[in-house]
Amino acid sequence: MIGQAVRLLRVIIGWICIIGGLILSISPIPFGFIIVIAGIILIGPRDRSLRTIRALWNRAIRGLASSSVPFVSALARRIIIFQSSVEQRMHQWMATRSTSRVASRRVAAEE
């Protein structure tokens, strides 16, 4: 019961952070992106709505990359390159993080 209430509270606060961060990212205040990331972390990567939004985002960016307007297509390609490099670094970081946890458990088990 309490776990469900905490989960619901995290989702509500996460979406408030995402919406507020998107609003702040338009303004000259540079903290909007950080607040969006905090909201995504609060909600969690397994949330269905976040996965749907990410799929729609990827589809829109790929569509813009094939645009006939040179500036728009170049910008969309740069976004795709940046996004793939960030995802690759995240996967590398997660792989090293899980490897270090396994290694520390093995050392602790051997002692």
Single pTM value for the model: 0.61
Task: Return averaged pLDDT per consecutive 10 residues of the chain, 111 residues in all.
Answer: 85 89 80 84 83 90 90 92 88 79 58 58
Number of structural domains the chain divides into = 2
**CA-CA distances (angstroms) from residue 25 to 6, 19, 68, 107?**
28, 10, 28, 45
Neighbours of 32 (CB within 10 A): 17
Q: Is 40 found in the same domain as 54? A: no
- Report the SS3 class of residue 44: coil
Q: Nearest to residue 86, comparing CAs of 56, 54, 59, 64? A: 54
Residue 49 burial (CB count, 10 A): 10
Q: Are residues 56 and 72 in the same domain?
A: yes
Q: Is residue 53 a contact partner of residue 43, using CB atoms and an 8 Å limit?
A: no
Pair (38, 70) in one structural domain: no
